[in-house]
Structure 1
Amino acid sequence: MTSPREASADTFDPVRTDAADVARVMGVDPERGLTSDEASARLAEHGPNELRSAVRSPLWRRVVAQFTDPLILLLVAAVVISLIAWIIEGAEGWPIDAIVIVAIILLNAALSLVQESRAERAVAALAVMTQAHSAVLRDGELHTVPSSDLVPGDVLVLAEGDQVGADARLFRANSLRVAEASLTGESEAVEKRVDTIDAKVPLGDRFDMVHKGTAVSRGTGRAIVTTTGMSTEMGAIATMLDETVEEPTPLQDEVAHLGRMLGRIVVIIAIVVMITVALVQGIGSPADLVTVLLLGVSLAVAAVPEGLPAILSLVLALGVQRMAKRNAVVKKLSSVETLGSASVICTDKTGTLTTNQMTIQRIVTASGTVDLGGVGYAPMGRATSKGLELGEGPLLAEAQIVIGVGSLANDAQLAERDGMWEIEGDPTEAAFLVAAGKLAGTAEEAAHYGRVGEVPFSSERKMMSTAHRHENGDLVVLSKGAPDVLLRHCTRLQVGTEIVPLDPVRRARCLADMEALSEEAFRTLGVAYRLAPELAATGGAPDAASFDESSEEGLVYAGVVGIIDPPRPEVRPAIAEAHAAGIRIIMITGDHPATASRIARDLGIIDEEGIALPGARIDGMDEHQLRDAVRTVSVFARVAPEHKLRIVDALQAEGQIVAMTGDGVNDAPALKSADIGIAMGIAGTEVTKEAAKMVLADDDFATIVHAVREGRVIFDNIRKFLRYLLYSNMGEVLTVFFGVVFAGVLGFTEAGGDGLVLPLLATQILWMNLVTDSGPALAMGVDPEIDDVMTRPPRGIHDRAIDSGMWIGIGTTGLVISVITLLTMDIFLPGGLIPGGTNSFDTARTAGFTTLVFAGLLTAFNARSATSSAFRALFANRWLWGAVVLAVLLQIAVVSLPPLQVAFSTQSLSLEHWLVCAGMASVVVWVEELRKLGIRMIEGRRADASAQAVPAG
């Protein structure tokens, strides 16, 4: 006999096979189920009904990963060079330079590891750690077993509220509806039946199957398990997830590029300067050779901002903490900035843009239309007609009857638990209970009725009816169902408090009302009723046997309701803000095109002319055609998981930085492939959270826009401290270079005595980079938003953090810093360009060192903006002021305290020295202010010219 595994994989398709044949192939008696022994044997053969979970990288691998960054490798190279120079010099004392750089490297690695571990714990805290169970027939008896123990051939017994534990073929279904949003994206519960499908159909249309990870919202059923674990549809998505390559983030690319670029610059500068020194001053002894090597190390130290990796990690970590307070949990530090770069946000509809809570928004009766406000299951909202509050009158009376009948002919329950409104049963039925709470008096009137009979819903009849007794003894039949079907059972119409004949004209109007609601993408349900005195037997007791389908004739048509999964109220303004920031929003959903288009229009994703592109069309497109489509289409409907992945890939091929949101298992592969995947923390599945780089703890789309703003601010701040660090470092490099080249002109050679004369020592350069530079740089990492970052388009995928404009600024500022530093030294030295000085070379070098530090600190205020004045929002960042003041105090200490004077080869300075240093350092501010003023004037002229070029009107 063919094994179930072989049969299901090679021989037959359970979707297109009769249920009896499925039972035969799977080797099971549907009425008794498997025996316990057979179930155990199959469990051993097929393994647990579980999805493979991602294997967490071991600690050692995660530690090693922290040292693969190009900037870190550059620092490692600096450590090696420093140690070589220290050994050549005689290995005396401690290699301070190497020790400090190693400390920075270790600090950076520790920060990254700690923050990523904290993010993992935050994500784990969001998960609901409960084991699912399933009801099965085994040995002819009903058993409840862990869903992980299900095997092919098991007979699932399904009831309302159950989680479906495996993919299974139905052979019995009674009013069965299954919520498949987590798998297909379909917002409405899907009606299931046992009929065999004779054609290949999409996952969302397989009405004879139930699938792992979905939930029974109504009715009962029995099904034969056909596949478990990774062989299920959910497993197929998990497999796709394993095969999806995770691309590096834009920030990782940028840092890698920066590391490579700085590496080349370091090598070039070191070689050029060492050759220059050898040619200009000569190398007359081994000591001179060691000095030249130390100079090479000092220039490497000067060119590379050693604190950059640690500062970058700290800034990102602080950004992660701020985002976590806004309910956005970022799992990886480098992903923080990616959101700020996002040019497209691809979003699922159900549960992300919408509440995933079916809601009655419209009631249409003979007297007009009632709109019900409020979203979700909270029974709160205004009832209006034509924008005005609904008052007493015929329309209110009709609406109360419609909602009252619908809430009585109902098997759902609505309850408030811990301040949250929850439902049990079919969401569509629950919508009537919610609406009853919004129409004053409706719920109270319904409380006077008790159910005494039922004709259940079936897919053939497309309606249901219940019999109820009023407290006064009256018996009524209450019906609801597909409006056009229900209308055929009606002979009269409710008009206010009166009942009139349902003539052809009125019937045609009712049909037109139904059609109008359908065209607006509402799901429609009709409601009708009638008094039923014939159901009362002798003595007034109900005669249940007499209540059947024949009782559903001669009904009074009350009206029709429009039901929809409504948009979250906070989403529309969030989308508007995203559009203003140049970010395109694309809806990708498994829902029907009409529903998707309606929601997209309501939210402002598309205009009235916009349409939804169905997944069936995507199947017929090659990659070039799909790339053409994603340029203009903003709504994709009825899509499968592989479609979502193709859409994301097509957008990325177009040069877009893509953020993808979702909550269902079907979203996971696209989330992993996107530049940043965003999972819903409440409604999201564990598979989705594992694939995502960010998790929304509140499932609020608006949180994404807040995160985008935060990401843009973080990138701005990264540019600020990069600008500051490179301003200072370029000043240091040019000071050493020009100080060596023009040593004779500036009087250094004469004052410095025999041997090589260097304007700065390696220890002094290291002091500036690691002590005075790092504090202000870190403070700029938390600089508040000065300009509105959401009024400009996202940066392009090829835009660099350090662009040509910034390089010009870095070169200009570095040149100014080097000139004022060398001139300060010249002022205090005899000879040179500025005669009259009387100080020693060590004192002049200390003054130059101090001027360089002060100038660097002042550039921190320049670096806060590429174009705005340093005096704009001057006191907005108290951390920056604190860092600058602390750095000044440290510089005073290193110049004035004897132990530090020995360590850093400094001399005490007089008040005159300090004043000259401060005055010379301030020049860098005024030069930069003039440069920025010129930039603003040029940009202003361009803006005026652009405005004049636009035709009026």
Structure 2
Amino acid sequence: MAEPSSKAATHSDPTLVEAGQVAERLEVDVEAGLSPEEASNRLGRYGPNELVSTGRDPAWKRFLRQFGDPLVYLLLVAIVISMVAWFAEGAGGVPVDAIVIAAIVIANAVIGFVQENKAQDAVAALSDMTAAHSTVLRGGKLTDVESSEIVPGDILVLAEGDAVGADARLLSSSSLKIQEASLTGESEAVTKHAAVLPGPVSLGDRLNMVYKGTAVARGVGRAVVTGTGMQTEMGRIATLLDETEDEQSPLQKEIAKVSKMLGLLVIVIAVVVMAALALINGVDSASELVDILLMGVSLAVAAVPEGLPAILSLVLAIGVQLLAKRNAVMKDLHSVETLGSVSVICSDKTGTLTRNEMMLCEVVTASGRVSLSGTGYEPVGEVRLTGRNEDDVLAEVQRVLATGSVANNAQLEQVDGHWQIQGDPTEAAFLVGGRKLEGISERVEGFQRQGEAPFDSDRKLMSVLGHSHSLGVSRVLAKGAPDVLLERCVAEQVGGATRPLSEQRRADILATVEELNERGNRTLGVAWRDATPSDAEGGFDEGSERDLVWAGFVGIIDPPREEAAQAISEAHRAGIRTVMITGDHPVTASRIAADLGIVEGDEAPRAVTGRELDELDDDGWREVVLTTSVYARVSPEHKLRIVDALQEQRLIVAMTGDGVNDAPALKSADIGIAMGITGTEVTKEAGEMILGDDNYSTIVEAVRQGRVIYDNIKKFIRYLLSSNMGEVATVFLGVVLGGVIGLADPGNPGATVVPLLATQILWINLVTDSGPALAMGVDPQIDDVMARKPRGYDERIIDAHMWSRIIFIGVVMGVISLVLYDLCLPGGLLGGLEYLAPAGLEFDVARTTVFTALVFMQLFNALNSRSDMGSAFDHLFTNKWLWGSFAVVTLGQVLVVEVPFLQSAFGTTSLDPIHWGMAVLAGLVVLGVEEVAKAVRRARAASR
């Protein structure tokens, strides 16, 4: 195929010429679309259908950004102070302190850079998973493609709920309404048509065009793509997208607030420590002043977990990727914290709680009924007739199945030996059932559609106008909810004739419908009439659904998912209530709900209908939503109000949806869950989560995983803050209490003990705040997270209980450090042990021992932090990453203590086995103290 004229495609106004001429300029056959090969060529020529943004910053910028932290500024100031003192003292030797601090700053930047890269890569992978899709006509077949692969000349096939993938000129439309608020600001959906416009008009008045970034609110249509990527109207305003700043989640805001609070607290503590050192020890040289300043700066850096935001983002990204592998794709990383606290799941029935493998199993007509066997979408099965006159029954059944197959937008085809559908599974059931009877396929293929009134969730009907070549007549064919469709019928098909519908006959039909509903069937009625000239002349729409002839109705089985019942039971155990909201018959809804155990008890739960909801006042709504778990025959407006009413009760609500009218409820819910298979592009955009398999059990598994991720976040926050608090307590207690209990540096008798050097504090912070914290963020499930009730609406991640544990463990570490000093130094309460304090090296050995002990105490504290109540010895070896980080940290500490040039850098000295044993024993004491505390908490919980 020749290349279309770019000038014609780009510069001529497609609104002012016939659609066929636009297609001709773009060199595309509107009946077949582009060939796959030509589409591929054009994709290479025009590029992807994507908006160009500023994109990801280059690596060097992202690396430099790691230095833009107030704590890093403090360290840079410390380097400057150290260098000034070094120069003031003659610049002799090597400025060890400055070099070590600089090395630690760079190491922290590298770790932050790597973590940010991993988080961004994870987010990019998730974006690929949630990429928008469009239906196009290629090679004469409907094809689902990523919207980024749309090219000029593609034929877009639009239906209710689709996101418009590119700018396009309409070829045809039926009741087509487009929601263009994102582009024009128009709040109401705009009715579209394919007619030529009389002259140039503004964007909002171009009624024969559809635009990228808008959504189909109603109806169907076909359009030829005229612009993609930056050549779209949305592309003209693409720069606005890059100026939009992401809003912080509640968890991010809480952590930022805690970090600021800690910063202020530690600054006060650092000032007190520096003042105490200056007053007690005195300041006789620039070197001593530098040491004091470095101690204060290092203490501030040690106490504030500056790596926490980066670890948080990476842990969330990894957790969301794990969810994606389980068919639950989260669009927003920080929605995970909400997912773990869901207390109510409002779910549709079809496809989520049931298998969504719709099988037409029964056809009921005036003369009898037919049963059809088979499974899935393979058109194979037995047909059993029941009735007084089998010829009449067969003729009526053929009309029902042919009518339902023509008034239909699904597609059934065999691919690699397997039958697959595209479109609504309920509509596909007619196609499968129709293929089981002879003669129906010919009638379907010989029908030329001329108009359509698309399905609408409010009307619960759809109809088409067309000409049957096999019968030589034009007809209106309709299908929909039996009770709704029957009201529009005036006659009934009986054999080859029709007869008026009496009130008694209407009652009999509805009674039979009720019978099938009670057996768990979904029922759809079918009707027809001969077309009149006014149908075509006046524009075919829903007003033509009148004076119909009732042909019969069908029963469609959609069996409950076996795994759904188990998932609902698991949700109940976790304190999560399941609410079924469906448009189906109330009897069907109650039966399925009973089979799945949505409401405990032997009797089927009563379903509240949309009509009953309409009669309630505000107080009635509040009472109903607290007691009702099954809703039937409801509209999307009811769904939205149910969500709002539940949220008024301070419940965290997850809501599933698939249709365009479900989007408001999904947006209003705390977690909107869009169906990945049957869901429209609009619902996928509205929701925070997309189900890859449309399965309720996946929702419950996602909630479980969300709770695990939330627990892991609490674990590493608890670990980081308590470990950092231990460093602060060690320095504070050593400086403030060392002199009180008589501890002193033998080489400087009048000076108080300074337990750690600034470089040692920074080293502890570097090695323990990275690997172990990140490993805890990916900890497998330790506690039974589904055995507890959902988090409270206002529950904070760092509550009073966590603060008490953080302070308790920090003080324990500080006290143990002080005891170690007392054992290794002469004087003090314990007097020091000679074999632990070698002459001339007492202070160096004591400080190195405490330094090493703090590292081991923090490693053992990581084991403590894995569970709030459970023993650290439960699931001890399930986290290989944690043990790997322990090995790396331990090796690093051995090198810092035993390698000579590192000894000079960090002010350490070699330790003998006894001192190494004391350091490890200090870690075990921290572990043992917390084990006792947990045992006490478990005993208290058991006695309640």
Query: Which range, TM-score by smaller chain?
Result: 0.5 to 0.7
Cα deviations by residue, 1:268-324 (Å, 9 ceiling, x for unpaired): 221232233344444444433322211212211321234433433332332233223
2:249 maps to: 249
Cα deviations by residue, 1:36-68 (Å, 9 ceiling, x for unpaired): 99xxxxxxxxxxxxxx99884654599999999
The AA in structure 2 aligned to 1:119 is: V
Determine the C-alpha separation between the residues in 2 that align with 1:452 and 1:333: 48
1:865 maps to: 867
Determine the C-alpha separation between the residues in 1 that align with 2:384 and 2:628: 43
Shift in alpha-carbon separation, 1:592–1:875, aligned structure 2, 3 A: closer
Secondary structure class of the residue paired with 1:768: helix
Which stretch of structure 1 is more off in the superposition, 749-758 or 719-728? 749-758
**How far is 1:76 from its partner?**
3.5
The AA in structure 1 aligned to 2:916 is: W
Determine the C-alpha separation between the residues in 2 that align with 1:306 and 1:452: 68
Determine the C-alpha separation between the residues in 2 that align with 1:395 and 1:877: 71
2:555 maps to: 562
What is the aligned-residue RMSD (CA, Å)? 6.4
Secondary structure class of the residue paired with 2:771: helix
Task: Confirm or deny that 1:608 pairs with 2:612.
Answer: no
**How far is 1:715 from its partner?**
1.4
**How far is 1:362 from its partner?**
5.1
1:924 maps to: 926
For residue 853 of structure 1, the aligned residue among 839, 855, 861 is: 855
Secondary structure class of the residue paired with 1:89: helix
Shift in alpha-carbon separation, 1:671–1:102, aligned structure 2, 3 A: farther
Determine the C-alpha separation between the residues in 1 that align with 2:567 and 2:177: 28
Determine the C-alpha separation between the residues in 2 that align with 1:66 and 1:526: 65
Q: Does the Cα contact within 8 Å between 1:343 and 1:657 map onto a contact in 2?
A: yes
Which stretch of structure 1 is more off in the superposition, 86-95 or 825-834? 86-95
1:743 maps to: 738
1:341-740 equivalences under 5 Å are 341-345=341-345, 360=360, 363=363, 377=377, 406-408=400-402, 410-411=405-406, 414-418=412-416, 421-423=419-421, 430-435=428-433, 443=436, 488-489=491-492, 509-514=508-513, 522-525=522-525, 560-563=553-556, 573-584=566-577, 601=593, 607-612=605-610, 637-639=634-636, 655-659=650-654, 661-663=656-658, 676-684=671-679, 689=684, 693-740=688-735
Determine the C-alpha separation between the residues in 2 that align with 1:339 and 1:693: 10
Cα deviations by residue, 1:819-852 (Å, 9 ceiling, x for unpaired): 2222122212222222252321101111222222
Q: Does the Cα contact within 8 Å between 1:375 and 1:566 map onto a contact in 2?
A: no
Determine the C-alpha separation between the residues in 2 that align with 1:856 and 1:27: 70
Shift in alpha-carbon separation, 1:865–1:114, aligned structure 2, 3 A: closer
1:33-52 equivalences under 5 Å are none
Cα deviations by residue, 1:794-828 (Å, 9 ceiling, x for unpaired): 22343222222222222222222222222122212
Task: Confirm or deny that 1:104 pairs with 2:111.
Answer: no
Secondary structure class of the residue paired with 1:90: helix
Shift in alpha-carbon separation, 1:447–1:713, aligned structure 2, 3 A: same
Task: Confirm or deny that 1:799 pairs with 2:792.
Answer: no
Shift in alpha-carbon separation, 1:509–1:266, aligned structure 2, 3 A: same
**How far is 1:875 from its partner?**
2.4
1:764 maps to: 760
Secondary structure class of the residue paired with 2:430: helix
Cα deviations by residue, 1:188-212 (Å, 9 ceiling, x for unpaired): xxxx999xxxxxxxxxxxxx99999
Q: Does the Cα contact within 8 Å between 1:355 and 1:565 map onto a contact in 2?
A: yes
Task: Confirm or deny that 1:318 pairs with 2:322.
Answer: no
Task: Confirm or deny that 1:844 pairs with 2:846.
Answer: yes
Secondary structure class of the residue paired with 1:360: strand
Determine the C-alpha separation between the residues in 1 that align with 2:612 and 2:58: 43
For residue 773 of structure 2, the aligned residue among 770, 777, 787 is: 777
Q: Does the Cα contact within 8 Å between 2:307 and 2:770 map onto a contact in 1?
A: yes
**How far is 1:910 from its partner?**
1.7
Cα deviations by residue, 1:204-241 (Å, 9 ceiling, x for unpaired): xxxx999998899999x999xxxxx9xxxx99xx9xx9
**How far is 1:913 from its partner?**
2.2
The AA in structure 1 aligned to 2:811 is: L
The AA in structure 1 aligned to 2:413 is: A
Determine the C-alpha separation between the residues in 2 that align with 1:938 and 1:74: 43
Q: Does the Cα contact within 8 Å between 2:413 and 2:420 map onto a contact in 1?
A: yes
Which stretch of structure 1 is more off in the superposition, 159-168 or 654-663? 159-168
Cα deviations by residue, 1:837-894 (Å, 9 ceiling, x for unpaired): 2321101111222222222222222211111122222222233233323333332232
Cα deviations by residue, 1:503-536 (Å, 9 ceiling, x for unpaired): 99999644521355579894433699xxxxxxxx
Q: Does the Cα contact within 8 Å between 2:587 and 2:607 map onto a contact in 1?
A: no
Determine the C-alpha separation between the residues in 2 that align with 1:277 and 1:31: 85
The AA in structure 2 aligned to 1:639 is: P
Cα deviations by residue, 1:681-726 (Å, 9 ceiling, x for unpaired): 4555556555655444444444333222222111111222222223
Determine the C-alpha separation between the residues in 1 that align with 2:854 and 2:659: 57
Secondary structure class of the residue paired with 1:415: strand
Determine the C-alpha separation between the residues in 2 that align with 1:650 and 1:88: 66
Determine the C-alpha separation between the residues in 1 that align with 2:611 and 2:108: 52
**How far is 1:730 from its partner?**
1.8
Secondary structure class of the residue paired with 2:305: coil
Aligned residues: 804
Task: Confirm or deny that 1:821 pairs with 2:822.
Answer: no
The AA in structure 2 aligned to 1:906 is: T
The AA in structure 2 aligned to 1:801 is: I
**How far is 1:651 from its partner?**
6.3
For residue 935 of structure 2, the aligned residue among 933, 936, 939 is: 933
Secondary structure class of the residue paired with 1:830: coil
Task: Confirm or deny that 1:833 pairs with 2:833.
Answer: no
Which stretch of structure 1 is more off in the superposition, 691-700 or 267-276? 691-700
Determine the C-alpha separation between the residues in 2 that align with 1:854 and 1:762: 18
**How far is 1:585 from its partner?**
5.2
Determine the C-alpha separation between the residues in 1 that align with 2:287 and 2:70: 27
Q: Does the Cα contact within 8 Å between 1:337 and 1:711 map onto a contact in 2?
A: yes
For residue 119 of structure 1, the aligned residue among 120, 123, 129 is: 123
For residue 895 of structure 2, the aligned residue among 893, 896, 919 is: 893
Determine the C-alpha separation between the residues in 1 that align with 2:703 and 2:939: 30
Secondary structure class of the residue paired with 2:738: coil
Determine the C-alpha separation between the residues in 2 that align with 1:781 and 1:120: 20
Shift in alpha-carbon separation, 1:659–1:35, aligned structure 2, 3 A: closer
Shift in alpha-carbon separation, 1:675–1:89, aligned structure 2, 3 A: farther
Secondary structure class of the residue paired with 2:301: helix
1:302 maps to: 302
Shift in alpha-carbon separation, 1:576–1:178, aligned structure 2, 3 A: farther
Determine the C-alpha separation between the residues in 2 that align with 1:163 and 1:841: 71
Structure 2 unaligned blocks of 5 or more: 1-13, 26-48, 88-94, 139-149, 182-190, 194-206, 224-228, 454-461, 480-484, 529-548, 600-604
Cα deviations by residue, 1:750-793 (Å, 9 ceiling, x for unpaired): 42516563111122122222114533322222221122212222
Aligned-pair identity (%) = 45
